[in-house]
């Protein structure tokens, strides 16, 4: 079946540090991959997405590349800010747009300190 595995947190970084949050997936066919972010007290927001192999999604300085050969979609940011502190969820669906069910990873809490 479909599943998503992401690194356990919390990830604790100083401001301006480099961020990587690992995400790997298991899926049949050609899934679409997503990163969602949940800021404290708010709902999940779509951060970025990629719908086919080698696509790179990017937004707000974050980026992730859909790697079919390693079944990965790692989230990276070159220089984190305190305002990036949140929980990040990797997810997949098996439709081109996430009209279908989303399968989520467990979430990774990021804490950025000044």
Residue with tokens 């919390």: 10
Asked if 4 touches another protein (CB under 8 A), the answer is yes
Round to whole Å and give the CA distance between 98 and 106.
Answer: 18
Asked if 50 touches another protein (CB under 8 A), the answer is no
Collapsing DSSP states into helix, strand and coil, what is residue 112?
Answer: strand
Asked if 10 touches another protein (CB under 8 A), the answer is no
Asked if 1 touches another protein (CB under 8 A), the answer is no
Among 62, 63, 105, 112, which residue interacts with another protein (rule: CB under 8 A)?
105
Asked if 55 touches another protein (CB under 8 A), the answer is no
Round to whole Å and give the CA distance between 20 and 45.
Answer: 19
Handedness of CA 100, 10, 66, 64 (dihedral sign): positive
Residues that bind another protein (CB under 8 A): 4, 36, 41-46, 89, 97-99, 101-107
């Amino acid at each position: 079946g479909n599943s998503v595995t992401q690194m356990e947190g919390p990830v604790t970084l100083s401001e301006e540090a480099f961020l990587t949050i690992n995400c790997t997936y298991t899926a049949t066919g050609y899934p679409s991959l997503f990163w969602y972010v949940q800021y404290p007290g708010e709902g999940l927001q779509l951060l970025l997405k990629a719908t086919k192999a080698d696509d790179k999604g990017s937004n707000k300085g974050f980026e992730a590349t859909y790697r079919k050969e390693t079944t990965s979609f790692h989230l990276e940011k070159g220089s984190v800010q305190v305002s990036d502190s949140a929980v990040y969820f990797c997810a997949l669906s098996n439709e081109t747009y996430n009209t279908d069910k989303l399968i989520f990873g467990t979430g990774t809490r990021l804490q950025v300190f000044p």
